[in-house]
């Protein structure tokens, strides 16, 4: 039975998700700031409203939607991977706070949009406290090239996709400096430890970080030149400035803003995040990539 899917944000990810829903014969309408249709027209009668706007647009889009008549049955899906710099909220927290009576679903996983547009196989996770809503979204997007799993742990699924962007910047640096496979394995493993440490402290489930939305997305993003966050790290390592990189990058590298928010929170809450801290200092221009590496290697020795 075809469903009506409204996609907000016509960037790389919104467009790829629209393709997946259309391939399953659903009725898809898209909204973007530059588009010809109004937000009201696009969301009218939608079974699913899926947001793939970048973090900086989430507040503005939710508040525009709040004043529109949206059916109480409509499910909101968020596919944004970031943290709000003003409130440090995750995107799903903003959606749920704006629409407390609606089901909110997080969609997150190892999903490089260019590979999905090339029709390569991929898997993802849809998480919600309302399992019927997660299952509805699962059916709408599942196909022989996109395998969708459900999960109850909204926060864990959302944080996996968000926190790995910081590690992807570090991984790009690692590859740009040609530090080798041993170094990369150490970085990703210790990076995952850091993601787990803060995520579990905030209430996410440990096991979620070892699934598709955690380890899965970490592996995809940290090993692919298609990742914009990886590109930021790689280009810093080969001598470009952050301003030069951001001026030329195609799309959004959420990890730059996420690092800022995370460092602030980890300091306030006294959670050690050494890799994130060095990524932050590098993005601020306080250390060179080689100095950041040395700082990490020369930390006090300790048990694993």
Ligand X SMILES: O=P(O)(O)OC[C@H](O)CO
- Residues serving a catalytic function are 164
Among residues 10, 123, 130, 200, which is the contact residue for ligand NAD, using CB under 6 A? 10
Binder to ligand X among 84, 194, 217, 277 (CB under 6 A)?
A: 217
User: Quick one: what does residue 85 bind among ligand NAD, ligand X, none, with the CB cut-off 5 to 8 Å set by partner type?
Assistant: none
Among 3, 26, 102, 228, interactor with ligand X by CB under 6 A: 228
Binding of residue 141 to ligand NAD (CB under 6 A): no
Does the annotation flag 197 for ligand binding? no
Report the partner that residue 74 touches, choosing among ligand X, ligand NAD, none (CB closer than 5 to 8 A by kind). Answer: none
Q: How far is the CB of 155 from ligand X (least distance, A)?
A: 17
Q: Which CB, 62 or 235, lies closer to ligand NAD? A: 62
**Residue nearer to ligand NAD on the CB measure, 58 or 293:** 58
Q: Does 173 bind ligand X (CB under 6 A)?
A: no
For residues 253 and 251, give the distance between their C-alpha atoms in angstroms, rounded to a whole number.
Answer: 7
Q: Which does 11 bind (CB under 5 to 8 A by kind): ligand X, ligand NAD, none?
A: ligand NAD
Binding stretches for ligand X (CB under 6 A): 81, 110-112, 161, 165, 168, 217, 220-221, 227-229, 254
Binding stretches for ligand NAD (CB under 6 A): 9-14, 32-33, 52-57, 60-61, 79-82, 111-113, 251-252, 254
């Amino acid at each position: 039975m075809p469903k009506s899917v409204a996609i907000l944000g016509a960037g790389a990810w919104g467009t790829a998700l629209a393709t997946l829903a259309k391939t399953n014969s659903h009725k898809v309408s898209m909204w973007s700031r530059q588009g010809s249709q109004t937000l009201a027209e696009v969301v009218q009668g939608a079974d699913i409203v899926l947001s793939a706007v970048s973090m900086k647009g989430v507040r503005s889009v939710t508040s525009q939607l709040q004043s529109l008549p949206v059916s109480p049955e409509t499910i909101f899906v968020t596919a944004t991977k970031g943290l709000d710099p003003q409130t440090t909220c995750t995107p799903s927290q903003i959606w749920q706070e704006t629409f407390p009576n609606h089901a909110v679903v997080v969609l997150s996983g190892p999903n490089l949009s260019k590979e999905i547009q090339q029709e390569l196989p991929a898997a993802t996770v849809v998480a919600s406290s309302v399992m019927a809503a997660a299952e509805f979204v699962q059916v709408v997007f599942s196909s022989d090239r996109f395998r969708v799993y459900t999960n109850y742990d909204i926060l864990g699924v959302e944080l996996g996709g968000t926190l790995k962007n910081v590690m992807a910047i570090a991984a790009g640096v690692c590859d740009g400096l040609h530090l080798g496979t041993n170094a990369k394995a150490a970085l990703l493993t210790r990076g995952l430890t850091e993601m787990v440490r803060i995520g579990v402290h905030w209430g996410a489930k440990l096991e979620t970080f070892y699934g598709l939305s955690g380890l899965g997305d970490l592996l995809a993003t940290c090993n692919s030149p298609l990742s914009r966050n990886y590109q930021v790290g790689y280009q810093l390592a080969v001598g470009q400035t952050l301003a030069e990189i951001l001026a030329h990058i195609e799309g959004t590298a959420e990890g730059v803003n996420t690092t800022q928010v995370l460092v602030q929170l980890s300091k306030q809450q006294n959670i050690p995040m050494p890799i994130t801290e060095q990524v932050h200092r590098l993005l601020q221009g306080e250390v060179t990539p080689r100095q950041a590496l040395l700082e990490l290697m020369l930390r006090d020795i300790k048990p694993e």
